[in-house]
């Protein structure tokens, strides 16, 4: 951990999962200050797949009104699309029946406010999540 002035950067081990305690103390030419109370930071794993996984292409992203889901391969069958805000609250949900590889589903998102969301799409034997930006 390090940084100049009143800011610092913490670098995490990418494999770390659990709770870490962070304390700080100022140091200058006169010596070291008192150590702060510990701040507990919990790191948990959230599965976010890369775009295009499970035979699904999502575009455009960022989106302003209409979002398109292009399904291929094993994506045939019932599909559920959910959108969550950054607080984890579900703000949209739609179900679809897909019948063929290459099918494109058009979703109107014009009612949602600008911001960052999580798009979650689930098929019979697959699940896809990714960040979605509405502008």
Q: Are residues 61 and 20 in the same domain?
A: no
Query: Same domain, yes or no, for 70 and 95?
Result: yes
Residues 74, 12 share a domain: no
**Same domain for 34 and 57?**
no
Binned at pLDDT 50, 70 and 90, residue 14 comes out as low
Could you read off the pLDDT of 99-115 as tens digits, one per residue?
A: 777 888 999 999 999 99
Q: What is the pLDDT of residue 102?
A: 80
pLDDT at 13 over 80: no
What does pTM read for this prediction? Answer: 0.59
Same domain, 7 and 58: no
> Are both 40 and 58 inside the same structural domain?
no
Q: Are residues 73 and 118 in the same domain?
A: yes
3-state helix, strand, coil in the chain (%, to 5): 5, 50, 45
Residues 71 and 118 reside in one and the same domain? yes
Q: Which of 47, 6, 11 is nearest to 24 (CA)?
A: 6
Domain carrying residue 23 = 1-45
The tens digit of pLDDT for each residue in 26-57 reads: 878 888 888 888 887 776 655 444 444 557 88
Round to whole Å and give the CA distance between 9 and 2: 6
């Amino acid at each position: 951990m390090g940084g100049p002035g009143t800011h610092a950067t913490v670098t995490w081990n990418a494999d770390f999962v659990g709770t870490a305690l962070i304390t700080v103390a100022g140091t200058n030419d006169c010596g070291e200050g008192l150590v702060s109370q510990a701040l507990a930071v919990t790191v948990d794993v959230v599965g976010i797949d890369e775009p295009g996984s499970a035979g699904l292409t999502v575009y455009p992203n960022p989106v302003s009104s209409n979002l398109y889901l292009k399904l291929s391969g094993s994506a045939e069958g019932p599909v559920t699309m959910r959108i969550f805000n950054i607080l984890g609250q579900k703000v949209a949900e739609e179900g679809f029946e897909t019948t063929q590889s290459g099918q494109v589903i058009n979703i109107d998102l014009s009612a949602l406010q600008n911001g960052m969301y999580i798009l979650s799409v689930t098929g019979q034997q697959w699940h896809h999540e990714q960040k979605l930006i509405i502008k």
